[in-house]
Amino acid sequence: MSLKTRITDDMKTAMKAKDAPRLGAIRLLLAAIKQKEVDERCELDDAAVIAVVEKLTKQRKDSVTQYEAAGRQDLADAEKFEITVLAAYLPEKMGNAEIAAAVAAAVAETGAKGAADMGKLMAVLKPRLAGKADMGEVSKQVKAALS
Domains in the chain, CATH or no CATH each: 3-87 (1.10.1510.10), 96-146 (1.10.10.410)
Instruction: Please write the tens of the pLDDT for every residue from 107-141.
Output: 888 887 877 788 888 888 888 887 788 788 888 88
Separation of CA 26 from chain center: 15
**Structure confidence at residue 62 (pLDDT):** 96
Q: Which residues contact 100 (CB under 8 A, 6 or more apart)?
A: 141
Task: List, for residues 17-38, the tens digit of each pLDDT value.
Answer: 999 999 999 999 999 999 999 9
Q: Choose among 15, 22, 43, 34: nearest CA to 86.
A: 22
Mean pLDDT across 10-15:
97
Q: Rounded mean pLDDT of the chain?
A: 90
Identify which of 97, 83, 80 has the alpha carbon closest to the alpha carbon of residue 133.
97
User: How much is the average pLDDT of 8-21?
Assistant: 96
- N-to-C CA span, the chain: 44
Q: How far apart are CA 33 and CA 47, in angstroms?
A: 12
Question: Residue 63 pLDDT > 90, yes or no?
Answer: yes
Segment among 48-52, 65-69, 103-107 with least mean pLDDT: 103-107
- Give backbone dihedrals phi and psi of 128, rounded to 5 degrees, phi first: -75, -35
What span, in angstroms and rounded, lies between the C-alpha atoms of 82 and 18?
16
φ, ψ at 73 (rounded to 5°): -65, -30
